Amino acid sequence: MTMISTYPTSIADNAASENWARYLYGKDRGHTDYLTHAARCEDMYLGGGRQLTPEQRAALIAARRPGYEFNQIMPSVNSAIGYQIHNRMDIAFKPRGGDSDLFKATILSKAVMQVADLCALHWHETQMFSDGLIQQRGYYDVRMSFDENIKGEIVVGTLDPLDVIPDPDSKSYDPDKWGDVIITRWLTLDEIEQIYGNEARKRAELSNDAGHDFGDLEDGVERNKFATRKDWGYTDACVNKEDGLDRYRIIDRQRFVYELTSCLVWPGAGDVQVEATMSADSVADALANGAVRAKRMRRRVKWVVTTFTATLHDQYSPYESFTVVPYFAYFRRGKTVGMVDNAIGPQEVLNKAVSQVVHIVNSSANSGWVVEENSVTNMTMKELETRGAMNGLVIEYKKGAKPPQKIQPNQVPTGVTHLIDRADKALKDVTVPEAMRGVQGPETSGIAIQAKQFASQQQLSVPLDNLAYTRQLLAKRILKLMQRYYDTHRIFRITETDPMTGKPKEELLEINKFDPATGGYINDVTIGTYDVVITEQPMQVTFQNSQFQQAMEMRKAGVRINDATMVRYSNLSDKQEILESLPGDQPPADPTVEARVRLLDAQTRKADVQATDVQVKSQYSAIQTAQVIAQTPATAALADGLLKSAGAVDHDKGPIVPQAPAGLPTVDLPHNTDPMNPASPAVGASEGIETLAADGLQP
């Protein structure tokens, strides 16, 4: 292919020239470096022979050493992606000001759920999240499509991050603070005609851009495609192949301009909308309902699409913002990082260490022989070299010569094993820990396992928090598109699953319906301002599973949850039939349960009475004993000895027995001589022993 000038010369097209210059500026200001690094990160994630660069593989082949991959990046990243899949969230709105209210907010929330379902939003979110983890950046593309519905439908897709060049001089996460954004893609002439019209196709054909290489092959990065041929570069302007289709590099640029613009203003609500972004009917209705025209400085989006030398589209965008919504896994003022970036080093160390161990093992099978010259009689040295590691090898050598000696192979260095362990740990530290990947640890209790899993999830806090912010940006743009383009009477058929019955439930939702009685519109969603709410409740299936598991745990803990409630929280497809077959919401009463409860209550009351009786007897015995000791102090030492022999511990400082007052009579204590009723400390001081009747004794 022929090299031509860097800037367009074949057609005097200022817009194309400006677009191409801006494309080169963004490419030279970091995008080329990003292409190379992102492609490397993708190869490290995919593995399958891609983790070794061509230069590394050639060096290993030259040294006759193995090169193995021990891919630990993919399962780690997949664990993070799996966590996102099972924690998908829905979008909802709440009223903020103007003519908004809670009822309209609910209508909008249901409508956006249908939009998400029609364009497979949850699937696209996973793709964008994966792009961010693997290649640092992921992008939504949000716009209107009139292919399936002449009224227009909101469509949300994903972009290849290698095709998107954000404003290189910006440092904001929010694209509303960028100066411009470029999407470069490859389109055939038929695709150009489908998107931009027949005139655009003719201009592309007349541009003479086909088949030229514009000096961008040095980028060295191939665009992703199903083919494996590498005979054309990522940044070629156009490729013309005999066995393929002509494809033109399209420079799709959106930039902000600040101009005096005709607007419609609603004095009561304070809403302002650019008139050029509204249909004629909407403008007429707005003027009839009190809106007024006014000139105001407004920021608008200028949308210019070109090839290398030809302009295909140059108009103001019908949208208030760029169609691009970014996601950055880790973001630091214009610097983006993915999960794979910091895992490349440990993965390469792991591959090298494992390959080295395999090389030592392979070489140890036939490490070589030390043989005296002409001493081997049954084979040549070449045969010994090739067959020296065979099982059952017999070597015959001359009598009197030194026997052949096998060279001891090198042992695997201890440091290599430690290096493998360290690299494996480093990989988990920069991706996701083992607990999050489902690997069983030393923990045995459920609480310990849950605590470790919760701690492991903190590794994903930053990527998930940035994902929540991206959801906010996306929801705001969807809301603007709904209020701008869903301005006619529409009927939505909302199909939901009843969480109580499991049956599909249909609901007809009408918006912007004209009411002849009032002359207004029912469910007018085009006016009012709303706040975006990303529900903390996961998707319906995930949420139902969680609810069912919680109900099961509560039931195991003793909470009396009836069978009907358990069936309602389940995901059984025929749970409605099961519910109808149950006799009632409450399970049949078990006659033994109530009896066991009454028995338990009676036993509890009996234990309380017995404990009270023992306490009363103990107190009475203590009083009696104290009276006796007060009358006869000499018995205190004997009592202490008996208590100590029984294992009692004195917790008070002695002496605690007061001296008996003078003049007290000496009382002879009776002795228990009944062999049938021996004294027993096990039954208390008042049982099995006759005590002095000290009641009423006066000193």
Tell me what the mean pLDDT of segment 597-607 comes to. 75
356 has pLDDT over 90: no
> With bands split at pLDDT 50, 70 and 90, how would you rate the model's confidence at 670?
low
Q: Comparing C-alpha atoms, which of 529, 16, 641, 92 is closest to residue 308?
A: 16
Asked if 192 and 204 touch (Cβ cutoff 8 Å), the reply is yes
pLDDT in tens, 536-547: 445 444 455 667
> With bands split at pLDDT 50, 70 and 90, how would you rate the model's confidence at 653?
low
> With bands split at pLDDT 50, 70 and 90, how would you rate the model's confidence at 470?
very high
Tell me what the mean pLDDT of segment 176-185 comes to. 94
Q: Which helix (H) or strand (E) holds 135?
A: helix 121-135
Asked if 254 and 301 touch (Cβ cutoff 8 Å), the reply is yes
* Cα(625)–Cα(669) distance, integer angstroms: 12
Determine the pLDDT at residue 25: 94
* Cα(535)–Cα(287) distance, integer angstroms: 36
Work out the angle at residue 259's Cα, subtended by the Cα atoms of residues 253 and 264, and round it to the nearest 5 degrees: 110
15 has pLDDT over 80: yes
In 3-state terms, what secondary structure has residue 326? Answer: strand
pTM score, two decimals?
Answer: 0.68
Q: How many CB atoms are closer than 10 A to CB 612?
A: 10
Work out the angle at residue 602's Cα, subtended by the Cα atoms of residues 597 and 607, and round it to the nearest 5 degrees: 125
> With bands split at pLDDT 50, 70 and 90, how would you rate the model's confidence at 403?
confident
* Cα(143)–Cα(317) distance, integer angstroms: 11
497 has pLDDT over 60: yes
408 has pLDDT over 70: no
Beta-bridged to residue 327, according to DSSP, are 138
Structure-model confidence comparison of residues 174 and 364, the more confident one: 174
In this structure, of 144-153, 499-508, 555-564, 682-691, the range with the lowest mean pLDDT score is: 682-691
Structure-model confidence comparison of residues 435 and 333, the more confident one: 333
In this structure, of 71-85, 356-370, 590-604, 647-661, the range with the lowest mean pLDDT score is: 647-661
> With bands split at pLDDT 50, 70 and 90, how would you rate the model's confidence at 258?
very high
DSSP letter, residue 405: E
Scanning 344-460, the segments in alpha helix (DSSP H) are 344-364, 381-387, 414-430, 446-457
Structure-model confidence comparison of residues 506 and 73, the more confident one: 73
> With bands split at pLDDT 50, 70 and 90, how would you rate the model's confidence at 9?
very low
> With bands split at pLDDT 50, 70 and 90, how would you rate the model's confidence at 698?
very low
Determine the pLDDT at residue 236: 52
In this structure, of 162-171, 226-235, 585-594, the range with the lowest mean pLDDT score is: 226-235
212 has pLDDT over 50: no
Determine the pLDDT at residue 247: 80
DSSP readout, 219-264? G--PPP-S----SS-TT-SEE--TTS--EEEEEEEEEEEEEEEEEE
**Phi, psi angles (nearest 5°) of residue 174:** -75, 120
Determine the pLDDT at residue 477: 93
Determine the pLDDT at residue 524: 80
Q: Chain-wide mean pLDDT for the chain?
A: 77
Tell me what the mean pLDDT of segment 171-197 comes to. 93
Report which residue type is found at 661: P
Residue 53: CA atoms inside 13 Å, Cβ hemisphere, count?
10
490 has pLDDT over 90: no
**450 dihedral zone (left: phi>0; alpha: psi -120 to 50; beta):** alpha
379 has pLDDT over 60: yes
Determine the pLDDT at residue 255: 96
What angle separates helix 591-631 from helix 635-645, to the nearest 10 degrees?
Answer: 140
Structure-model confidence comparison of residues 533 and 321, the more confident one: 321
Report which residue type is found at 286: A
In this structure, of 2-6, 24-28, 589-593, the range with the lowest mean pLDDT score is: 2-6
Q: How many CB atoms are closer than 10 A to CB 520?
A: 11
Determine the pLDDT at residue 325: 97
Determine the pLDDT at residue 233: 47
